[in-house]
Chain A
């Protein structure tokens, strides 16, 4: 058994730039999800999202390079700079890069097609095409830092970050690379937002109910989405006291899931959680908290609750739902992972923003932030379509 240290975290998030600012956002117990001004939401049911507002890319990237980067690449490169500053190290050339993104460069593709329509198929800008591949952010990170190890981009909906982390951690344990950039990146845009809205996936006002993401709450009616980037410096031999150790992963698929929805089985979700715990070399009783996938969707949250109850029985550890702070998909799932790492470092559970009212037979998440002795945290990601990836992060190396 081997574990991978996370020694630096860089955050470009709704409501926060940098890890300290992100910690303050969580500690304040308020959400960065707010009304959208970036694009028109008239006629849609939802109007809020977790958007990165106070971000100045030129603080991190020279102007000549900025011109060659789309928003995703800017977020990811900036978050990488912040993560390296946080770790206080430079990575060796052998290091790899693994990023996750749910929707990737949809906005860049839209921008390209608008030019295609306006100027013709032969005259659209080549620069936009170069940035229309999902791995452009990872490529820019590698070029900026001269990182020549693996460079992959995983796009597995809500599980994108954990799937990328599973691959990169595995490569460090295998000995292919000594260290890696693990991260996630996402951009909220009109196309994705309006499609999710029309599909009924987004939290929305309904009668007396205001528009809000309410993970695990009885009144939940959908997710809010978010953006940004979270970058993690992962090392086999830590250069400093780590936030925590990536200890294990489990992967499965809920075979009852449909193309756009979560399933109802729960067995495979429980299988993935159990697999991550086994991979970490610990027992279920050693899990001190669960940082849940909960995103405020009726079926997704119910599936996760059933799976947690199935696996943990009457001894469910404290469960924390973080996504109402910044939105689903935020940083490709990276902000949820960053929150779990902060919990481990600070030995403190965050409050589950957005939850107000549960049901006795359901699950009540942590409502008030509180100090806690945390040895191992289970982090879940459950995707529409059935994909599940779970991870365990630990306080100790072994």
Chain B
């Protein structure tokens, strides 16, 4: 079995993103620069009796989908979000290159927590009313969590393989790390890696019954924080071996140096209070940077829950130290669950490209247990070479990705 050789450099040559603050990387970055959040009153699921009504929603997708409408109708909302973001990423990876990506050897690796659950819920409700024999089963073809990877591969004609990662909110981070290893072991030549998740009733209800949702827009690391804001979206990176990217004349946006993946082995939903798994994930990512480094910025998991923000702060202090600026971009677009690792990886790459660290919005007063520099309110221009992107999830799964400036 060929080994994933961590001395093999990985290049990010394309990114694509759609979330509540923008439908592509340009719109997303403009919102970040202008400190403009995409959080408002929940408009989906009218009539449901949720205890909170705040969400980071993406609007109608019809005009954004780059595929035939008949094919699009067979896809879930998570699938469509994925196809939109992946298409943008691939277009950027091919733009200006002397040779196009090898689609035959391109693998799709997607993290998703809900997949087509939104459509599955509608199917479930219709069955309750009309009986199972009267509801078309074709409506749930797209329900499995393999849906977004399959949809991207099918829509964009990619033949390298499909992988789907359903590791709760760490899904997309794990999917990106997994893809990096498959490139380094030459099981694939190109990876379209990221995540996608659409808002659905089950998760909106579920986080509410866990009392993990803030009734105001989330305020990560703040003294007033009460929980998450649920969001939706998708994002993908195109990743190639560095030398392959150079050989085909692609523009390299950033380097994916490595990742760390760990488990708290502590509780089904709560993080370990000292963030022991998160510490180990960050250390694991740093260990893959073979020539040593200084971390310049951390794009935190930063959900806005009491437990996460406290544990993550302790983990950063232990693994990286107290002199690294940290922020939560979830304050812009909420917690996008299985997609979060992809969306925040793209934000981290954009931050490196623009040498501008996104802030933590609505951070008026940091909590006593949140003692780091969280870049409040407005973006901060700064020299950044190395950036960590954290994503953690239910089950105590933790993934930390390490990106380095292309220059």
Question: Interface of A with B (CB < 8 Å)?
Answer: 1-4, 43, 68, 93, 96-97, 101-104, 106, 109-110, 112-113, 116-117, 120-126, 129-136, 138-140, 142-143, 145-157, 163, 166-167, 169-171, 173-174, 176, 191, 194-195, 198-199, 246-255, 257-260, 268, 272, 275, 279-280, 383, 385-389
User: Contact partner of A103 among B48, B144, B207, B396, CB < 8 A?
Assistant: B144
Q: B interface, how many residues as a size bin?
A: 35 or more
Measured between alpha carbons, how far is A335 from B394 in the docked complex, in Å? Answer: 27
* Contact residues in B for A152 (Cβ distance below 8 Å): 165, 167, 174, 178, 261, 397
In the complex, whether B209 has a CB less than 8 A from a CB of chain A is: yes
Is B202 touching A154 in the complex (CB atoms < 8 A)? no
Contact present for B74 and A387 (CB under 8 Å): no
A195 to chain B: closest residue by CB: B137
Is A259 in contact with B150, judged by CB distance below 8 angstroms?
yes
One digit per residue, 1 when the CB lies within 8 angstroms of any chain A CB and 0 when it does not, for chain B 144-157 equals 11100111011001
Is there contact, CB below 8 Å, between B153 and A154? no
Q: Any chain A CB within 8 A of the CB of B130?
A: no
A121-B205 in contact (CB<8A):
yes
- Say yes or no: A124-B107 contact (C-beta < 8 A), given A113-B124, A150-B261, A385-B146: no
Write out the residue numbers on chain B whose beta carbons fall within 8 Å of the beta carbon of A171: 181
Is the CB–CB distance between B268 and A139 below 8 Å?
A: yes
User: Out of A96, A123, A153, A166, which one reaches B209, CB within 8 Å?
Assistant: A123
The stretch among B15-23, B89-97, B182-190, B322-330 that forms the contact with chain A is B182-190
Of B107, B185, B395, which one neighbours A136 at CB under 8 angstroms? B395
A371 to B145: give the CA distance in the assembly, Å: 40
> Is B208 located at the chain interface by the 8 A CB criterion?
yes
The residue that B1 contacts in the complex, of A3, A156, A199, A257, with Cβ under 8 A, is: A3
Beyond the given pairs A139-B394, A155-B166, A253-B159, 14 more chain A to chain B contacts, judged by CB atoms under 8 angstroms and listed by A's residue number, are: A121-B201, A135-B167, A135-B395, A138-B167, A138-B395, A139-B263, A139-B395, A155-B146, A251-B163, A251-B182, A255-B157, A386-B150, A387-B161, A387-B162
Which of A3, A146, A389 has a CB less than 8 Å from the CB of B265? A146
| In-complex Cβ contact of B165 among A116, A154, A198, A255 (8 A) | A154
**Do A116 and B153 contact each other (CB < 8 Å), given the known contacts A155-B166, A251-B187?**
no
Q: Tell whether B393 is near chain A: CB-to-CB under 8 Å.
A: yes
Interface centre among B4, B141, B268 (most CB of A within 10 A): B268
A249 with B144: CB separation less than 8 A: no
Q: Please encode chain B, from 186 to 204, with 1 for each CB lying within 8 Å of some chain A CB and 0 for all others.
A: 0110000000000001101
Q: Is the CB of A248 within 8 A of B161?
A: no
Instruction: Answer whether A150 and B262 are a contact pair too, CB < 8 Å, given A252-B160, A389-B161.
Output: yes
Given A2-B1, A104-B145, decide whether A116 and B202 contact each other with a Cβ distance below 8 A: yes
In the bound complex, do residue A68 and residue B268 qualify as a contact, i.e. CB atoms below 8 Å apart?
yes
CB distance from A146 to the nearest CB of B (A): 5
| 7 A-B contacts (beta carbon < 8 Å) | A122-B209, A129-B207, A151-B262, A153-B167, A383-B162, A386-B153, A386-B154
Q: Which residues of B contact A122 (CB under 8 A)?
A: 49-51, 205, 208-209
Binds A, one of B113-121, B241-249, B361-369: B113-121
Contact assessment for A387 and B150 in the assembled complex, using a CB-CB cutoff below 8 Å: yes
Q: How far is the CB of A118 from the nearest CB of chain B, in Å?
A: 11
Contact: B266 with A143, CB < 8 Å?
yes
* Residues of the A chain whose Cβ atoms lie less than 8 Å from the Cβ of B145: 104, 134, 155
Q: How far is the CA of A265 from the CA of B276 in the complex (A)?
A: 48
Question: When A116-B202, A129-B202, A143-B267 are in contact, do A155 and B164 touch as well, CB less than 8 Å?
Answer: yes
**Which of B108, B117, B206, B396 has the most chain A CB atoms inside 10 A of its CB?**
B206
User: Is the CB of B302 closer than 8 A to any CB of chain A?
Assistant: no
Tell me the smallest distance from the CB of B102 to a CB of chain A, in Å: 13
Q: B264 contacts which of A121, A148, A153 (Cβ < 8 Å)?
A: A148
Distance of B13 from chain A, by nearest CB (Å): 21
List chain B residues, Cβ under 8 A from A136: 268, 394-395
Interface class of chain A by DSSP: mixed
Inter-chain contact A154/B150, CB cutoff 8 Å: no
Question: In the assembly, what is the distance between CA of A149 and CA of B264, in Å?
Answer: 9
Distance in angstroms from A329 CB to nearest chain B CB is: 11
Known contacts A104-B145, A135-B397, A143-B268; is-contact A252 B168 (Cβ 8 Å): no
Contacting residue for A250 out of B49, B187, B202, B209, CB 8 A: B187
The reply to whether A121 and B166 contact each other, CB–CB distance below 8 Å, is no
Inter-chain contact B1/A280, CB cutoff 8 Å = yes
Name the B residues within 8 Å of A386 (CB-CB). 150, 153-154, 162
| Contact present for A149 and B262 (CB under 8 Å) | yes
Q: What 9 A-B pairs are tightest by C-beta distance, nearest first? A: A139-B395, A129-B206, A251-B161, A151-B263, A134-B166, A198-B137, A150-B261, A385-B150, A387-B162
Q: Are B3 and A173 in contact (CB under 8 A)?
A: yes
Tell whether, in the assembled complex, residue B263 and residue A97 are in contact, meaning their CB atoms are under 8 Å apart. Answer: yes
With beta carbons under 8 angstroms apart, the residue of B161, B266, B394 that contacts A388 is B161
- Would you call A151 and B167 a contact (CB within 8 A)? yes
Bound complex: CA A125 to CA B132 (Å): 25
Q: Is the CB of B210 within 8 A of A129?
A: yes
In whole angstroms, how far apart are the Cα atoms of A255 and B165 in the complex?
21
- B132's nearest neighbour on chain A, judged by CB, is A194
What separation, in Å, do the CA atoms of A3 and B188 have in the docked complex? 19
- B81 at the A interface (CB under 8 A): no
Which residues in chain B, 56-81, are within 8 Å of chain A measured between CB atoms?
Answer: 74
- Say yes or no: is B217 at the interface (Cβ < 8 Å to chain A): no
Chain A residues within 8 Å of B137, by CB? 194-195, 198-199
Selected from A133, A167, A257, the residue in CB contact (under 8 A) with B168 is A133
Q: How far is the CB of B160 from chain A (nearest CB, A)?
A: 6
A residues less than 8 Å from B50 (CB atoms) = 121-122
**A121 CB to nearest chain B CB (Å):** 4
Q: A279-B187, A388-B161 in contact; A157/B3 too (CB < 8 A)? A: no
What does the 1/0 interface line of B385-404 toward A look like (CB < 8 Å)? 00000000111110000000
- List residues 231-275 of chain B with CB under 8 A from any CB of chain A: 261-269
Give every chain B residue within 8 A of A117 (Cβ-Cβ).
125, 128
